[in-house]
Amino acid sequence: MSHQHPHPTAAPGGPRPASGRVPLSVLDLAIVPEGATGQDAVRRAVGLARDLDRLGYHRVWYAEHHLSPGVGSASPAVLAAAVAARTERIRVGSGAVLLSTTSPLVAAEQFGTIAALHPGRVDLGLGRAFTPPTGEKGAGAPPRRARPATGPRVVDGLYVPGAPPADVNDSVLRERILAQKRIVGASRTPASFRDELELVLGLRAGSYRDERGTPYVSPPVEGADWDLWVLASSAGESARVAGELGLPLAANYHVAPSATLDTVAAYREAFRPGVLDEPYVVVSADVLVADTVERARELATPFADWVLSIRSGADGAIAYPAPGTSPAWEDRPESERALVADRVDTRIVGDPETVVRRLETLRRATGADELLVTTATHDADDARRSFALLAEHWFAGGADADAAARAAVTPDVAPALATTR
């Protein structure tokens, strides 16, 4: 195949806030709380985006989740288009379109169409196809065992948990993925991730030819004014290919905190000038800010149940529970705690000063050029308050960023472990 990439460009980050800190962005899942509907969640997501635009956040991305009772963000392109039409400055995009359910051509055409109407404000984030383990069974098949958790560590003040134990052939998880795949209609067989990305880049450059040399043109994609992103949760193919093509990378500390440093390192090691001249890394984090540490911890209590439903439930993410309805951490079975501890312990919860200090630690330890925060609460007003408090203390002058970074050098593992339990 012949693929010509656009000329290298400047990094896709926004201007630094007055505080001197890196840009701050948001990943919105359109959380569906208990007692609400998906339609409520979508309407709230659009309203929240207007707030984020006014508060100074650089971009807002929408994830792709299907058939999960607690997540209303199923169509990133539709949400991004609706939000772009109702905001003035903030960038909109996907975090990410999954190539297991959407072809790269369709994703590029969807976001190319949005970019035609809102040039310079659109991000197309792509994630690799996710497929269940093969599940070899029968006589002679080797037993598949759970992967043991590795030990935690502290790197430059950042708490890096061990990986959670995971059964690579968990029957409930496998059957859920296969059943969802049938209902979603995800029957495509993806090509290699590099080929899928190069198809998008080639169509935008107007130079794409298939393996037979046949040229193809997609009018919404050719010359489209969007930025292409890769999302990665490990140091594997996604991070490597993003680096080889010179694309920006979003690393998921909020999904796989044990692997984030390795993910970023693999990307930087593989990086070659391509779409960008230099590497550009966004790192995500689960964040919850309230006026006091005590209030933040109270609001954070349902998080363990929610993560547990994602990792072990037959139906995926449950509708987000109300505070005060979850069992205490010490009353949970050890197997449950082991499965969710990495995400509970790395969720950044507290008052504004605490959260800003810990975000600065995350930025410094990962070398992030930008941070992407996501916030899950039962009450949408608590999430709005969290984003407003964070913006007030991150973007405005306030404490000097270098002083905050120096203060964060002391590892704050103990507060991290105590915040949400």
Binned at pLDDT 50, 70 and 90, residue 232 comes out as very high
Amino acid at 268: R
pLDDT tens sequence across 397-416: 644 544 544 444 444 543 44
**Contact between residue 248 and residue 230 where contact means Cβ atoms under 8 Å apart:** yes
**Whole-model pTM?**
0.90
Amino acid at 188: R
- pLDDT of residue 151 exceeding 60, the answer is yes
- pLDDT of residue 419 exceeding 90, the answer is no
Cα torsion angle, 406, 412, 415, 419, sign: positive
For residue 15, what pLDDT is reported? Answer: 85
**Contact between residue 111 and residue 77 where contact means Cβ atoms under 8 Å apart:** yes
For residue 316, what pLDDT is reported? Answer: 85
Binned at pLDDT 50, 70 and 90, residue 173 comes out as low
pLDDT tens sequence across 264-285: 999 999 999 999 999 999 999 9
Binned at pLDDT 50, 70 and 90, residue 100 comes out as confident
Q: What does the mean pLDDT of the chain come to?
A: 88
pLDDT tens sequence across 292-323: 999 999 999 999 999 999 988 667 899 999 99
What CA–CA distance (Å, rounded) separates 372 from 255?
12
Nearby residues of 403 by Cβ (< 8 Å), 6 or more positions away: none
Q: At what angle do helices 380-395 and 38-55 cross, to 10 degrees?
A: 20
Task: Compute the radius of gyration of the chain from its Cα atoms.
Answer: 21
Binned at pLDDT 50, 70 and 90, residue 11 comes out as confident
For residue 233, what pLDDT is reported? Answer: 94
Going by C-alpha positions, the residue among 235, 230, 277, 265 that lies closest to residue 250 is 230
- Name the burial class of residue 388, with classes exposed (0-12), middle (13-18) and buried (19+) by CB atoms within 10 angstroms of its CB: middle
pLDDT tens sequence across 27-39: 999 999 999 999 9
For residue 336, what pLDDT is reported? Answer: 94
Q: What are phi and psi of 179, to 5 degrees?
A: -65, -45
